[in-house]
């Protein structure tokens, strides 16, 4: 059985009216008729890694209707077939390792006819006209445009142009195909990395002016006294108010669990009040884990896209570090240092 397959999602159509295609490992098929497959949810940041490693489907994955367009033994071979699938609907017929483009899109056919009518050649054996490169390699050009480095962009564009040109297609060699496959893999990895960096940047650019946040009635942050904590704990018994507070705290965001915990707790508790607590109530301090506020923070971390995979143990560890550092915040580190004689 092949390790990877190029599939067409029959229920998903992009704005241009084309059905979406992608690569899936054989482990993602559901049933034996080849008509259903599992696909990870949008919260999974690196789908390419999951495909390469054949990550087993989880309970929150989506079952999709699809059609198998072609199979491949390796991911690199599947990448080549995926980009061929951008302009053909049949990847099963091959001759000398090259795909026969039998079923073309309407745009592809109209452009081919236009080129055929404008071509001046008396030879009946001449190769059929090649569509413009921007339509021949749409996915490759699109991904190349997303490379942030100008130098890398020029190199990638030049390579794609060379491979997509009619001359290069006529003299295509195995080494050329291998180079193109490697280039596509690298560009795809850059694309996935950019997605992660984009989400991180969005989190960093979130407005931190608490005055614009919609604070529920009766809730005042940061909490200054133990009486404030007790009053809020009573209010958090109302699940609707609890959800509103969680959404407000989650909007603060953060790039990782430690960063998000630091930013959220700074908003929730004053540093003076934080000195009275630690995570598990040790050394005569109050136990933060028993409070509804702990659930507020944990649920807020789960709602943040960059920390959604956090578990309770990781949240407890981040909170313990934050409470430990409370004694050094607000200039207290300098106050504990001995005065020089």
If DSSP codes are grouped into helix, strand and coil, which group holds residue 95? strand
User: What pLDDT was estimated at residue 123?
Assistant: 41
Contacts of 193 (CB under 8 A, 6+ apart): none
User: What pLDDT was estimated at residue 174?
Assistant: 63
pLDDT per residue as tens digits for the range 55-88: 999 988 999 999 998 899 999 898 988 888 776 6
Query: Quick one: pLDDT band at residue 337, thresholds 50, 70, 90?
Result: low
User: What pLDDT was estimated at residue 206?
Assistant: 58
DSSP one-letter string for 30-47? ESSSSSEEEE--TT-S-H
Beta strand 286-287 with 277-278 is parallel
CB atoms within 10 A of CB 197: 11
pLDDT per residue as tens digits for the range 284-297: 999 999 999 999 99
User: What pLDDT was estimated at residue 214?
Assistant: 63
pLDDT per residue as tens digits for the range 241-296: 999 999 989 999 888 999 999 999 999 999 899 999 999 999 899 999 999 999 99
Beta strand 36-39 with 29-30 is antiparallel
Residue 74 φ then ψ, to 5°: -130, 160
CA 66/CA 63 separation, integer angstroms: 10
Query: Quick one: pLDDT band at residue 180, thresholds 50, 70, 90?
Result: confident
pLDDT per residue as tens digits for the range 87-142: 666 665 443 333 333 333 333 344 444 444 444 444 444 444 444 444 444 444 44
User: What pLDDT was estimated at residue 29?
Assistant: 92
Give the Å distances, CA to CA, from 338 to 121, 329, 341. 92, 17, 9
Query: Quick one: pLDDT band at residue 314, thresholds 50, 70, 90?
Result: very high
Would you say the C-alpha torsion 222, 228, 232, 233 has a positive or negative sign? positive
319, 263 in Cβ contact below 8 A? no
Eight-class DSSP state of 223: B
CA 248/CA 300 separation, integer angstroms: 8
CA 279/CA 294 separation, integer angstroms: 9
Q: What is the value of pTM for the model shown?
A: 0.40
Domain regions of the chain by residue span? 1-105, 130-205, 210-329
DSSP one-letter string for 289-329? GGSHHHHHHHHHHHHSTTTTT--HHHHHHHHHHHHHGGGGT
233, 245 in Cβ contact below 8 A? no
Q: Among 95, 75, 103, 79, which Cα is nearest to 19's?
A: 103
* Largest Cα–Cα separation, the chain: 101
Query: Quick one: pLDDT band at residue 204, thresholds 50, 70, 90?
Result: low
Two tokens, residue 108 = 């592809």
pLDDT per residue as tens digits for the range 20-61: 889 999 999 998 888 899 999 877 778 888 999 999 999 889
If DSSP codes are grouped into helix, strand and coil, which group holds residue 244? helix
252, 263 in Cβ contact below 8 A? yes
């Amino acid at each position: 059985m092949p390790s990877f397959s190029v599939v067409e999602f029959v229920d998903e159509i992009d704005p241009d009216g084309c059905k979406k295609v992608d690569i899936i490992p054989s482990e993602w098929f559901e049933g034996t008729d080849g008509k259903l497959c599992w696909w990870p949810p949008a919260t999974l940041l690196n789908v390419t890694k999951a495909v390469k490693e054949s990550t087993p489907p989880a309970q929150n994955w989506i079952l999709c209707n699809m059609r198998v367009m072609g199979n491949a033994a390796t991911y690199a071979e599947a990448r080549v077939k995926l980009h061929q699938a951008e302009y053909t609907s049949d990847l099963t017929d091959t001759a000398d390792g090259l795909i026969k483009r039998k079923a073309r899109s309407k745009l592809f056919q109209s452009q081919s006819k236009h080129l055929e009518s404008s071509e001046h050649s008396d030879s009946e054996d001449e190769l059929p006209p090649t569509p413009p490169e921007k339509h021949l390699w749409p996915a490759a050009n699109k991904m190349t445009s997303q490379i942030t480095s100008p130098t890398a962009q020029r190199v990638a564009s030049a390579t794609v142009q060379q491979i997509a040109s009619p001359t290069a297609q006529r003299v295509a060699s195995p080494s050329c195909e291998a180079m193109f496959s490697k280039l596509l893999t690298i560009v795809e990895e850059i694309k996935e990395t950019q997605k992660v960096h984009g989400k991180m940047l969005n989190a960093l650019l979130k407005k931190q002016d608490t005055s614009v946040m919609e604070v529920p009635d009766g809730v005042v942050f940061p909490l200054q006294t133990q009486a404030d904590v007790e009053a809020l704990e009573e209010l958090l018994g109302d699940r609707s108010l609890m959800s509103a507070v969680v959404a407000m705290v989650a909007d603060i965001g953060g790039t990782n669990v430690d960063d998000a915990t630091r930013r959220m707790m700074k908003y929730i508790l004053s540093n003076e009040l934080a000195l009275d607590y630690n995570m598990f109530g040790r050394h005569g301090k109050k136990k933060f884990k028993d409070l509804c506020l702990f659930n507020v923070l944990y649920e807020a971390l789960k709602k943040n896209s960059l920390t959604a995979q956090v578990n309770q143990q990781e949240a407890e560890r981040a909170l313990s570090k934050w409470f430990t550092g409370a004694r050094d915040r607000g200039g207290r580190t300098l106050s504990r240092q001995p005065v020089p004689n």
